[in-house]
Amino acid sequence: MEMPRLGTRKLYYLLKEGFKNEGIKIGRDALFAYLKRENMLVRAQKKYVKTTFSKHWLRKHPNLLKELKIEKAEQVFVSDITYIKTRESTCYLSLVTDAYSRKIMGYSLSSNMNTENVAKALKMAVKNRVSNTSLIHHSDRGLQYCSGYYQNMLNKNRIKPSMTDGYDCYQNALAERINGILKQEFLFCKTKNIHDLGALVKESIDIYNTKRPHLSLNMQTPDKVHKKSEENKYFSGLNIV
């Protein structure tokens, strides 16, 4: 009910303990074959609408992630904007995600891509931080991220800006991936209006952060990995005698 388009490997991970308790002997491949036979597999939807305008005169910052090894939570935030259609209009969802834990730290849903609306996601992400360590903000070269308003907010919070080189979308692949997960697994039903969509987005991000396992996180949830990283930093800083 909460994750109706979850991938088979993640679904098997969540169900295998229940299968064992019920005495049901079924492996991952057998589950996949069963879902296919029952016509229960979900096909990915591939649609693309350009939300980035990078042909502007504002300063573009260098890519700081090329040689960087991401080893902890709140070391790098990645940001992106995607569109979601309701029956009444097209809306825009701005996300700020922690690169290490894949946890969505901030988001903003609006009827346009004004810088102030996009920046609301950053404000939420900063508010949700649990550390004050050095932080990099990575994005594409979109007008909103290059604007004085957004850059001043980064500077005010002592966050270093980083951007993709030219039009290489793969340099912000993680942010694009999070967009895809939300849209393909959670936000695939068209709501009536932005109000209803806002409620769905809030619920979906909570489920994504706290209940959906990630292959890249060894089947842990983003929230669990984020908390564990912060706990490790705390204990490593203790001087135990």
d(CA 194, CA 91): 7
pLDDT at 46: 56
CA distances for 200 relative to 45, 135, 196, angstroms: 19, 30, 6
Identify whether the C-beta of residue 223 lies closer than 8 Å to the C-beta of residue 103. Answer: yes
Give SS3 for 104: strand
**Which residues are within 8 A (CB) of 236 and not within 5 positions of it... i.e. 6 or more apart?**
none
Class of residue 138 by CB neighbours under 10 A (exposed 0-12, middle 13-18, buried 19+): buried
User: What CATH number labels 76-229?
Assistant: 3.30.420.10
pLDDT at 240: 36
pLDDT at 57: 47
Q: Which residues of 16-42 are buried (b: 16+ CB within 10 A; e: fewer)?
A: eeeeeeeeeeeeeeebbeeeeeeeeee
Task: Pinpoint the residues of the chain covered by CATH 3.30.420.10.
Answer: 76-229
* Cα dihedral across residues 187, 110, 116, 54: positive or negative: positive
Q: Could you list the beta-strand ranges (E) of the chain.
A: 76-85, 90-98, 104-110, 135-139, 159-163
pLDDT at 167: 61
Q: Please tell me the pTM assigned to this model.
A: 0.82
Identify whether the C-beta of residue 104 lies closer than 8 Å to the C-beta of residue 132. Answer: no
Strand 159-163 relative to strand 135-139, pairing: parallel
pLDDT, averaged per 10 consecutive residues of the chain (241 residues), comes to 86 89 90 87 61 56 92 96 96 97 98 95 97 95 93 97 79 91 93 97 98 95 94 54 34
